[in-house]
Structure 1
Amino acid sequence: MAHQTVGVYSETAPGERRVAVVPAAVRSILDLGLAVAVETGAGREAWFPDTAYTRAGATPVPRAEVFDAADILIGVQPPNVAATHRFRAGQALICLLQPQHVPDLIRRWADQGLTAIAADLMPPTSGRAGPMDFLGAQERVVGYQAAVTAADIFGRCLCEPAPGSGTGRPARVLVVGRGPAGHQAAATARRLGAVVHVCEAHPAACPDIAASVRGSDIVIVTAEHPGRRPPVLVPARGIRAMRPGSVVVDTTAGAFGRAVELAQPGDTRVVEPGVTVVGDDNLASRTPTDASTAYAMSVTALLKRLVRGGALSIDLTDPAQAEAVVTHHRDILNDAVWQRILDQISLAGLP
């Protein structure tokens, strides 16, 4: 008999097609003694129909019922709820929270007694419970998608069209960033036949980045530390020195910054002298089925660590939980978030 209910809500952020739990993961969650309620249509954009969830043992329900009935709410992005919405004291939320960017929200949720768990803060090698590297799994999808997006936009083959014929040369691809996204982008571009150079995602480690940009056909900029504000690595003058038909993809361009000066979040634009610049920090949503499946595996592994006897059991002596649990029992436990709140209070002159 289930003790608590996991509620999976639909993603509402523009362009977000992932779902936090896929049907194949439902059985593992049920085996923990939990019930699973999924918002009607939550998996549609990732090609998981409600009937697949029903067959797996989950219950599709309206959005309001998910938020009212769930003891543990699970999503990819933070839930889009009205400012007047109040969570029940003791409810828990698991998502890619990026808490340092939303201190006002964290403060409000702590006051309501919500336990907020930032999946993006979960250490990638945290224990025996399974693959809890939420960001690493998503970043590998990002790297793949960045490479295929650039290849799709680029005006010719990445490989030499006819090897040894002298009719063309392989495309030169520069990947900035040595994290999971950078490694996957480089591997994918190489499989497509390009000549690939990889450098660190900060200027001091790659002093010749401007020259490397000028000499490249495709530049893919990834985040070595996802969730942090990225430094500007590719200035406008570097892009304008590239050849017409070149492509630049910035996987960091979002609400909290960008690494390519001319990139605009969620926008693909052509700038002089004919360089296509893609700005998108949510490329994983362009491959929603695989990205959702990887995310759900991480969710399942995390729940195995957090659930005891069919109920959520927070243990802050566990180093992994101490990293990821942002609010609990109306306290804000993350020092960096608490400092952001104190800074805001000081600037506003509030008590």
Structure 2
Amino acid sequence: MKKYLQVCALLFILFLYTSCRQNKTESGGIIIYSKTEDVITSYGPQWISRNIIQDRKNNIWIAAFTGIFRYDGKSFTNITSKVISTRFFSLLEDRNGNLWFGSIGSGVYYYDGKTFQNFTIKEGLLNNEVTSIYEDKKGNIWFGVSGGASRYDGKSFRNYIIDGNSMNEDRTGKTFPNRRPYEVNSIIEDKKGKFWFATRGNTFTYDGKTFSVFTHNDKPFKNVRSLIEDKKGNIWLGGFDGLWRYDGNTFISFTKNFVGYILEDKKGNIWTSLQRDNSQVWALFRYDGKSLSNKKPTVSEIKSGGNGLFGILEARDGNIWFGSMNGVYRYDGKTVTDFKNKEGQK
């Protein structure tokens, strides 16, 4: 009887081990199997919510420090709370409909709707703090991390390291187990195929061969937090030196206040999260697209966000979502709604 119980206990432990984690794929990532049910609630994340996207099925996804939340229009589901314990920062839906979740300290997670696959420095990721994720025109996935960027082609990583004022590809397989300076906050590929990297240090452009420091009047753009290319091909940069637009020849400054995130909506309006004058209070602002060519464009303050506002999303229904230190908000053009409790406060 004793031997029988010992065998049963051993089989049970083996079952837990194989069903909860530890299988490697051909690409090298660790697969995490989830046999637990997702946590469904009527309210959203209660803490820092960094980035927001909408998938092809119209679900809203939120990367928060308390997990990855999915909102289907009725309820929120924390899909990671019983599987992964980490702070999430960035997210992306790729062209195949799979999702990527970047974390602070635990690398990046690939999610196919059923299982999670974890990539860290052990698999070749440059650093485990993943602050931005971007898919290029060829389908490569780029990860902005502390100390540089990693490009993943579905099989392996190529890493690009920031070394002071320069950025270059590393072919030695170097990775950084600890936090590094100059994290990459935003990555885009413009219409001409040139890449842009916004970092806590310099802003870099990359033509596929050479990295160059992006400058204005011979002065580097430093500590840029957000980069976008608008419908007309203009590059917008937001960060410590305010909000700028670059048309390929001319620079225009719209504000000197610290800018966190930038979004262009369907109507050509520019949305930003920025600090108010002479204060630590952040707010959501909208620049009227029709007035952007004026010396003083029309600017509207939508919502004060206390000491932090983060990622901004325009959903397909026209609602604007944005993250904060205390969860997420939705703006329908008239009313700002939060999701801190079951009722939702207005």
TM score, norm. by length of structure 1: 0.27
More strand by share: 2
TM score, norm. by length of structure 2: 0.27
